[in-house]
Structure 1
Amino acid sequence: MTVISATPDPEARTLTLVAEFSAPPKAVWQLWADPRLLERWWGPPTYPATFREHDFTVGGEAKYHMTGPEGDTSNGWWRFTALDEPNTLEFRDGFADENGNPSTEMPETTIRVDIAEIPSGTRMTMTSSFASAEQLEQLVNMGMLEGMKQAAGQIDALLAA
């Protein structure tokens, strides 16, 4: 896969990743719909994800954790708010406690994924929206931008398999 861009925009309070794949939109959609495929790319290579729950329906939730190289874990949750197969999905995303309950101490984001057919395959645009520029800066400083690029960099191998 080619990550075309990964751009934070403090004024718009967004972080946008654009990537292109030589695969049809339906195959890219499956990377979100199938939790076993998600586990193979969500999170940087050194922090792989494990999805304990994945109810891929509007109103459904996902609960997961990422495991670091030292065995440390970071928990997260999603709540799906829109699904239009294979074109768009939208979900709330946040940090969680060990039981998967949303953390009130860390920012939540809204992530919209647009999947569009292009002559060479598919363009995926993932836009994370934040409540404030400060929240965007906080998560970028924690490594979100680099982590997203590394995570998305694993997708080509999955689509080629």
Structure 2
Amino acid sequence: MIVPEKIVLTDMFADEGGNAADGMPVTLVTLTFVEHEGKTKLIMRSRFASAEGLQQVMGIGIVQGCASQFYRLDDLLENLQEPC
């Protein structure tokens, strides 16, 4: 089995049909998994094509949105570890 060390994806805001939303920036996201003190550490990096694109998503709360998704992931992983 080959354990993935990195996932690279393009993230964007989309309309109901899954098409890129006009006027919204596209983000190149790299997720890197590293071993740290016997556990897996996830490092997430987002790259924007411009400082303006970064400022645009910062203004609509991307930091809070990402944080809430990681809290939900923490909860899911915790629940998966509970005995049935």
Which TM-score applies when normalising by structure 1? 0.45
Q: Does 1:132 align with 2:55?
A: no
Q: Give 1:156 deviation, angstroms.
A: 2.0
- Alpha-carbon RMSD across the aligned residues, in angstroms, is 1.5
Secondary structure of the 1:153 match is helix
**Which gives a bigger RCO, structure 1 or 2 (Cα 8 Å, sep 6+)?**
1
Secondary structure of the 1:104 match is coil
Runs of 4+ in 1 over 3 A off after TM superposition: none
Q: Give 1:104 deviation, angstroms.
A: 3.0
Secondary structure of the 1:106 match is coil
The structure richer in helix per residue is 2
Percent identity over the alignment is: 35
Query: Which of the pair has more CA radius of gyration?
Result: 2
Cα separation, 2, equivalents of 1:125 and 1:155: 14
Query: Where does 1:143-154 land on structure 2 (aligned, <5 Å)?
Result: 143-154=61-72
Change (3 A) 1:144 1:117: same
Q: Give 1:157 deviation, angstroms.
A: 2.0
Q: Give 1:86 deviation, angstroms.
A: 2.0
The structure richer in strand per residue is 1
Which TM-score applies when normalising by structure 2? 0.83
Task: Deviation per CA, 1:62-90: give whole Å up to 9, x if none.
Answer: xxxxxxxxxxxxxxxxxxxxxx8421000
